[in-house]
Amino acid sequence: MTQPDFFSWNMERDPILRSTIVAVVVFDTTPHWDRFVDMIDRATRVVPNFRHKLVPAWLGLAPPHWVVDPDFDLSWHLRRLALPDPADIGTVLDVARRSGMESFDRDRPLWQFTLLSGLDDGRAALVLKVHHSLTDGLGGIQIADQIVDFAREGTDRGPLPDTPVPTETSALADTVEWDVATGIDLARKAVGSALPTVRRALVNPIRTVQSAATTCAAVVRFARPIPDTLSPVMTERSLRRRFAVIDVPVEPLHQAAKRADGSLNDAFLASILLGLRKYHTLHGADVEYLRATVPVSLRTEADPLGGNRITLVRLALPANVADPAELMHRIDEIVGASRHDPAVPLSGAIAGALNLLPSSYLASVFKHVDFLASDVPGSPIPMYVAGAEIERYYAFGPTLGTALNVTLMSHTNTCCVGINADTASVPDLQAMTDCIVDGFHAVLGVGAAQPPAATVLTPSCVSV
């Protein structure tokens, strides 16, 4: 287990920091069950992470080890339920949030898929539940590529790969091997950076000292405890969760961002901040800044499927800017600077250090962040699962101690926005959803003659 993967696993010493990812896939019809089972079986052979379970290291002197589960039972991980009539997206979200609130069986691979039939208009839904230590958002998209088709009739993927074979392991040997490999890697990195550092010190000693001081300050800032929320409203934390979803057209949001010389992520974050600003106003509170956790992907094409290749950056974002274009400019500057933070390349080592600290310290790092926002690019073309077309793909990332997690997953021509809210922080989720919808409207109106109108579909789903 890598240090970032272990970090996601280790956080759960405090249950409020539980790192479960839930996603809801909405289909135009019910997938063929036998085909679906065969697709998942194949996927677990191509991506063997989904047949791995965790075993503790010897005396806890290393992170747990991934091993092939000798008792792997695909039928335990795949479930199907018929929804009671009448069933709509709100019914699906209730099933999904209950699934997300349940902890995993730690003696089995950390995932579970539930197919829900009986949705209105003959549709169906799939609730995906995966532990964050297994994969991050982009890794999940890569894994999804192994179980989807690009035609309703299916795709010929060739012969079925062999079943991963369990191997005999020794907790002591695995622990020693991990510790030795980690030591060698650290030594290699230290030697690799020593000569350039010495060279820079000889050529420009003052700049070298300044650079070292800047890096040290960045590392401290990266992992320092936070005593209080910036929000005077969203202050409480609990284990209770509620889900909501919003649909936003991709192209108009892209165009609004472009007209403000920003990115889709700038438009997304601006929409959330404008919504949170209005939400605070509804509660009689003014707020200048809100603290956000924003995942930054470190994944490269050479990285294997699955696992965590992200780092979590905490940013203070302006919540007192009413003009959407100006707000996007401010966000672009802040987020752009964070990507060049000297601490970002050191995030793996920082995660390793944090893994050694008590859970109370991890809680102090995350629990007073106001919200978490993540933008994950999805598929621009239609996709199918066992004969059913994917209409929507909503992701609900873990709150990780924040008041709410807002995740945008693009799919064809729609930005599917999933909101995972702690009900102690956000007891009136419908009001919060309406405020964020208004935020999207404000952003879509940047430079546009007339933004699209919003239509409320259910108490849990809004289309912009």
By annotation, the residues acting in catalysis are: 132
In which element (H, E) is residue 348 found?
A: helix 347-354
Q: What is the number of other CB atoms lying within 10 angstroms of the CB of residue 221?
A: 12
Q: Which of 337, 312, 333, 338 is nearest to 321 (CA)?
A: 333
DSSP state of 357: S
For helices 3-10 and 347-354, the axis angle rounded to 10 degrees is 40
Q: Phi, psi (5° rounding) for residue 455? A: -125, 120
223/17 Cα distance (integer angstroms): 16
Q: Name 77's Cβ contacts closer than 8 Å, sequence gap at least 6.
A: 40, 108, 109, 111, 112, 113
**DSSP bridge pairs for 123:** none
- Nearest 5°: the CA angle 175, 181, 182 is 90
Q: Which of 276, 272, 240 is nearest to 423 (CA)?
A: 240
- Asked if 230 and 9 touch (Cβ cutoff 8 Å), the reply is no
429/124 Cα distance (integer angstroms): 25
Residue with tokens 């320092």: 224
DSSP 412-453: TTEEEEEEEEETTT-S-HHHHHHHHHHHHHHHHTTT-SSPPP
Single-letter code of the amino acid located at 101: M
Alpha helices in 154-301 (DSSP H): 171-203, 205-223, 250-259, 264-282
Q: Name 32's Cβ contacts closer than 8 Å, sequence gap at least 6.
A: 386, 387, 388
321/319 Cα distance (integer angstroms): 6
* 146, 211, 365, 371 from 343: Cα distances, Å: 34, 12, 15, 21
Single-letter code of the amino acid located at 98: R
Q: Which of 439, 396, 384, 436 is nearest to 420 (CA)?
A: 396
For strand 289-297 and strand 371-376, is the pairing parallel, antiparallel, or unpaired? parallel
